[in-house]
Structures are given as C-alpha cells and as structure tokens.
Amino acid sequence: MSSHVRSAFRSMTLKKTVARPEDLFEKELLWAWLESAQLGMCLLNATGELLSANAVLAEQFAIPQEMLFGASFERLGKHIVADAELMKWAVTPDADGKRSHVFQRDYKRVDLSIQATTLRYHSGERFRVLAVTDETLLKRAQLIADLDRSSRQWEALNAGVVISDALRPDMPIIYVNSVFERMSGYSAAEVVGRNCRFLQGAETDQPDLPQLRDAIKREVNGHALLRNYRKDGSIFFNELFVSPVRNDAGVVTQFIGVQHLRSSR
Ligand SMILES: Cc1cc2nc3c(=O)[nH]c(=O)nc-3n(C[C@H](O)[C@H](O)[C@H](O)COP(=O)(O)O)c2cc1C
C-alpha cells in the first residue's frame, strides 16, 4: 500500500472521531484486513460515506483509490451500475445480505454481486462492510485454472490451446498453453491481450477466413486451415478449431481455439 493512500485513509477515519489508541488500533486492523482481501471491499459509515476502499474495489470501479475516500457510495455506484434501488440498499444500515445485478460496462457484461454486513466498532459506532465481486471475472479465472490443470492432456495431443475473451472488444487472448508457445515461438506474456489474427501477418484474406469469421460471429463451432507466421518469421500451417463457451445464462463468454500443426495444405 502506498503511503499517500495510507495517509488519505488516516485523515478520513480520524477526522471525526476522538482518536483513542484502542479505536485507532481497531481501525488500522480493519484497514490491514481490507487491503489484504482478494475481493473488492469497502467500509461505509452510517450515512453511506466511503470510509475506506481497497485497491481491488478501486480497480473494479476504475477510479484512483484515494479518490474513493469520503465519496458517497450511492452516488458513485448509481453512476456506474445504473441501478438506484441496489445502491440505496447497499448504503442502508442493517439491510444485510447479498444482492446480484447484471449490467453492461464499456461493452462488457458485468455480473456484480454485493455482500453487505453491518458491524459496530468497539465504541458503538455503526459501519457497513461491502464485499463487491465481479462474478464474470471469477468464472473467467476459474476456467483458466481448470484449463491449466487439464493442459497435460493437450500437451500429450500436441495441440495448441488458446482462449479468447468474448466479452471484451476484439476478443483478446487470455490464455495459451505451452504447445501454442512452442508452435508459434511467442511466449504467453507476449500474446495475452492481442487478437490471434496477428499470426497471419499481412495475409488477412486467406480462403478459410470468411467461414471462420462467420462461425465466430454466429457463435458456433468453426474450422479453418490458416497460414501463420512464427515469431522468427517462418511460416507454419495451422489447422484451427474454435468453439464458443457459454455461461449459465447462455451468454458466450470465451472462445476456445485448438491448433494443430500441419506440414502443408
Ligand atoms: C479462440 C480463437 C483462436 C484463434 N486462433 C487463431 C490462430 O491461431 N491463428 C489465426 O490466424 N487466427 C486465429 N483465430 C482467428 C482470428 O482471431 C480472427 O477471428 C480471424 O482472423 C477472423 O477475424 P478478422 O477478420 O477480424 O481478422 C482465432 C480465433 C479465436 C476465437
């Protein structure tokens, strides 16, 4: 945690309270817990003002962390999530429980869930803890973990595996296995975030591309034999199968591509 974030937190939490050492300790402890959480977490006072928010939450809201201190959660959330009723519930003391909401942000689908709990400081002052989760991201992480575990089978088949994120513009790669790395000469770090078409170099009007494009657009299985280029500039023939992956609601969240090295057409 950077020192300016810590000092913003201190001035926020201490400005209205008489700082008894035990109260200070309690808040510092809470803060340390919040910062180490893997979920987006924040503390609100009884009027719904953000006392503190961790770095994960700031990233979810795409707002610098220190700007969240002292902000109104309701106003902030209403602007982003566009559900006034959900935001009103989130800041209402003692209205505890879990609520979910699906919305669109920057052309991405977000499966938001908020777990709210009202607690009391030792001094009796009430505060509210919100744990904010983007379920879509969790599922994406789960899928990658599952694939990583089963990647030994793909290794045995000597097939390259690529997953692209269907919820982000231009479907960037989010995972490649080591066979793909060997086949293409690119490391995972070099390709994550890019669309797979970069492997075609300048040859973007190949015979099989229209049907592949069409399958991806219609969200069905597709097949193509493509001329691709390795990192060292050498050509290889890539027999590609792509399949959409749907979530429980039937929305296509990823595409899986399986690549086989072919010697020639
Ligand atoms: C999961 C997945 C894997 C893909 N793998 C490759 C690949 O290895 N090589 C390639 O040339 N194109 C690959 N593509 C196809 C391109 O990403 C792109 O869909 C294709 O070039 C047609 O779209 P475009 O006209 O926008 O380029 C893959 C697509 C998906 C969805």
What residue's CA is closest to ligand 1, atom 25? Answer: 213
In a shared domain, residues 164 and 129: no
Q: Total structural domains in the chain?
A: 2
In a shared domain, residues 14 and 115: yes
In this structure, the residues whose C-beta lies within 6 A of any atom of ligand 1 are 162, 164, 171, 195-197, 199-200, 204, 209, 212-213, 216, 226, 228, 238, 240, 242, 255-257, 259
Band (pLDDT 50/70/90 cuts) for residue 193 is very high
In a shared domain, residues 190 and 224: yes
Q: What is the mean pLDDT of residues 215-234?
A: 96
What residue's CA is closest to ligand 1, atom 2? Answer: 257
Q: What is the CATH number of the domain that holds 167?
A: 3.30.450.20
Question: Which atom of ligand 1 is found nearest the CA of 256?
Answer: 1
Tell me, what's the pLDDT at 30?
A: 82
Look at 96-105, 131-140, 185-194, 197-206 and tell me which has the smallest mean pLDDT: 131-140
How much distance in Å is there from the Cα of 196 to the middle of ligand 1? Answer: 5
What residue's CA is closest to ligand 1, atom 3? Answer: 257
**Residue pLDDT, tens place only, 60-112:** 777 888 888 888 888 888 777 778 889 999 999 999 999 988 877 666 677 88
Report phi then psi at 146, rounded to 5. -60, -45
User: Cα Rg for the chain, rounded, in angstroms?
Assistant: 24
In a shared domain, residues 130 and 24: yes
Band (pLDDT 50/70/90 cuts) for residue 214 is very high
Distance CA 226, CA 238 (A): 5
In a shared domain, residues 130 and 175: no
In a shared domain, residues 198 and 163: yes
Domain span at 157: 150-262
Tell me, what's the pLDDT at 152?
A: 67
In a shared domain, residues 45 and 159: no
How much distance in Å is there from the Cα of 135 to the middle of ligand 1? Answer: 27
- pTM here is 0.60
140 in any annotated domain: no
Q: What is the mean pLDDT of residues 110-133?
A: 88
In a shared domain, residues 27 and 129: yes
Tell me, what's the pLDDT at 246?
A: 85
What is residue 59's three-state secondary structure?
Answer: helix
8 in any annotated domain: yes
In a shared domain, residues 155 and 247: yes
144 in any annotated domain: no
141 in any annotated domain: no
Spell 105-121 as b/e; 16+ CB within 10 A means b.
eeeebbbbbbebeeeee
What residue's CA is closest to ligand 1, atom 13? Answer: 196
In a shared domain, residues 10 and 123: yes
Decide the pairing of beta strands 173-176 and 160-165. Answer: antiparallel
What residue's CA is closest to ligand 1, atom 18? Answer: 197
Neighbour-count burial of 93, counting CB atoms closer than 10 A to its CB (0-12 exposed, 13-18 middle, 19+ buried): middle
In a shared domain, residues 124 and 41: yes
CA distances from 243 to 80, 211, 215, 219, 222 (A): 32, 13, 9, 8, 7
